[in-house]
Amino acid sequence: MREFLKSLTLCLFLASSFTLLAQSKKKPEDYGIKSAKALKLYDEGLLQAQYRDRVKAIALFEEALKLEPEFAHAHFQLGVNAWVRKKYEDAEPHLEKAWQLRPGEFAGIEFYLGETYYHNTRYAEAIPLLEAFFMRANGRKEDLFLAGRDLRHARFAAEAVKNPVAFTPRNMGEAINTDRDEYLPCLTADDSYLLFTARRPESVGGYNAQLQDYSEDFFYSIHQDSGWTASENLGAPINTAENEGSAFITEDGQTIYFAACNLPGGFGSCDLYFAVRVGKGWGKPQILGPEVNSDGWESYPRLSPDGRTLYFASARSGGEGGRDIWVSEWAEDHWGSARNLGKPVNTLGNEDAPFLHADGLTLYFSSDYHPGFGQRDLFFSQMQSSGTWSEPKNLGYPLNTQADESNIFVNASGKMGYINSDREGGMGRSDLYDFTLDQRIRPQVATFLRGIVVDSLTRKPLASQIRLVEVVSGDTIRQAVSSTADGRFLMSLPLEKEYAAFVQAPGYLFASKNFYLKGLEEETYFDLEIALSPIQKGVQVVLKNIFFESGKYELAATSDAELEFVLRFMQENPKMRIEIQGHTDDIGSEADNLALSQRRAEAVRQWLSGKGIDATRVVAKGYGESMPVAGNITDEDRAQNRRTEFKVLETGK
């Protein structure tokens, strides 16, 4: 756009010089005025424009208007000059006056006045002017592109402002915001850790004389019962003397992806990096490879909730327009070659700041091309069952305005949004705000699972792997690693699904959990302590995701995730012998329950045998109703008693 405006300004100056030659023999009455001095001032203004001294040119046009307030040509020149400088409020009265005094006199006035109305939010009045200019199609290519784009915007905006979304932004307060710039907020899945970019005196790089501002650094704040703690600089080794920006912290708070510019070993102007938490600090940042980075500009890295897809913005060649959204898929042990996300998300314009919500389906991003209110607006698109993205939707007015709305973060519940804005009433230039998201622009609801993994005997925290599988599809939707420092983990969970969770650590018997999240209150979340038992004779675990229909012993298809996990565990421990136990509640006769439990245990044994596990390694034993773990009084009690257990008979070590 900057180059376009330079080109436009040059064309205006050249046009003025040609006009000067043609007008030198004209008289004041040819312009509808009487003052020869006013005409002389006007001609001198055109000459100064030719010499590219805009300040003198504007002053001369203004002097001419003092003598001849109805001088249409002087009004037109002042209007166009103000438009070029994006002084749309100044441009409007001059262009209107020129249009009123000499209709049809000025080539392109529909474009300038239509664009001015558009930028001044007079959308309905901008439409006919831009339509007239665009339909005539005799303007410059750049002007026609701009008019066509903004005509779409104006048509959309004129209707959208009639149906505003609920939007009441709340400044996040002095613990977060200062009199400097704070922007690009993101949070962990439980909303407890806020990471953002800021330019402050305490930045590692200090004051940047070239930028005439402080260097960009990352800052963080932790939410406690009393509110947000005073934000602190994230420090080395992530923050450096150079600019770091556009950070994204993973849902569990264990990894940060970010953009940094002009660092040694980079591929282009700005590249993508990541750093992993080590204890209470951060490890040395590592640059992502050439599969992700290019010799162009990359920024806004955002990881999908399942950790398998990296979304980011890039200005590399081969896209749909200027900046586009690109994706890279995780392949075994590295990121695959980036591909353009394509239409309908990417356009001829600029798209960036992608953010895939915890539901795994809703992509928020910014664009200056999709129909909006001007500059960059915020949009969302949703993944369809076909695997394609829906036509993007504008987040609406007044969340989006004529100003530059460039990024948004939406928390796991889908209720709260976070943005930065330099709106009036803030604490500084750009502050962080939170707000309740309008129902019409919310993603699907998600919650979170937070916990700690410990040794069942010593109670010491364990580093472990946690895998979450969607029961119906069998797809792994989340994977996490509990912290080596404190055994903690955190992940989001979309509601209205059922999940099988498996926790495993070397030398320990696994844990199995089930999460049935259908019909729950939206505020539900899970805090767990998971105790893993060291592998030794006699330890056992309930297989929470082995399912049978009532009174039957055929394994349900939804048992596959658990069965596959047990199979891998047996393969990893090839000398282990186990007992698969079947248990029932006390409904029915004792003899029938004993027989049913035996058959269910045998069904699991046969499944494992059919997958190659030696039958001598698995004993199937039914215990009927003889070993209840709950009272057999309520439905919940009986559900606990109906279970399948895995017991170690011999470790084989």
pLDDT digit string, tens, across residues 88-107? 999 999 999 999 999 889 98
* pTM of the entire predicted model: 0.87
Q: What is the pLDDT of residues 314-340, one digit of tens each?
A: 999 999 989 999 999 998 889 999 999
Helix, strand, coil percentages for the chain (3-state, nearest 5): 25, 30, 45
User: Rounded CA gap, 411 and 381, in Å?
Assistant: 17
Architecture of domain 536-653: 2-Layer Sandwich (3.30)
Q: What CATH topology corresponds to 2-160?
A: 1.25.40
Whether domain 445-534 has CATH 3.40.720.10: the reply is: no
Rounded to whole angstroms, the Cα distance separating 408 from 68 reads 50
Residue 328 tokens read as 């890279």
Kindly report the backbone phi and psi dihedral angles of residue 259, in degrees, each rounded to the nearest multiple of 5, phi listed first.
-110, 140
The answer to whether the CB of 450 falls within 8 A of the CB of 527 is: yes
Q: How far is CA 566 from the centre of its chain?
A: 36
The mean pLDDT value for 381-403 works out to 94
Residue 348 pLDDT > 60, yes or no? yes
How far apart, in whole angstroms, are the C-alpha atoms of residue 555 and residue 481? Answer: 30
Q: Where along the chain do its domains lie?
A: 2-160, 176-207+215-441, 445-534, 536-653
Residue with tokens 């009455």: 29
Cα 356 off chain centre by? 5
Strands 324-331 and 339-340: what pairing? antiparallel
| Residue 200 φ/ψ, nearest 5 degrees | -135, 160
Using CA atoms, how far residue 27 sits from 34, 37, 45, 57, 97, in Å, is 9, 11, 16, 20, 21
Angle 428-432-433 (CA atoms, 0-180°, nearest 5)? 115
Contact call for residues 208 and 216 (beta carbons, < 8 A): no
Does residue 64 contact residue 42 with C-beta atoms inside 8 Å? yes
pLDDT of 4 over the 70 cut: no
Query: Which superfamily, per CATH, for 176-207+215-441?
Result: TolB, C-terminal domain (2.120.10.30)
CB 93 within 8 Å of CB 116 = no
pLDDT above 80 (res 1): no
**Range of weakest confidence among 132-136, 232-236, 251-255, 547-551:** 132-136
pLDDT at 604 over 80: yes
pLDDT digits (tens, 9 = 90+) for 56-77: 999 999 999 999 999 999 999 9
pLDDT over 70 for what percent of the chain? 96
Contact present, 504 and 489 (Cβ < 8 Å): no
pLDDT in tens, 502-522: 999 999 999 999 999 988 777
For residues 651 and 536, the answer to whether their CB atoms sit within 8 Å is yes
Tell me if 346 sits within 8 A of 324, measured CB to CB: yes
Residue 21 is predicted with a pLDDT of: 40
Q: Are 199 and 213 in contact (CB under 8 A)?
A: yes
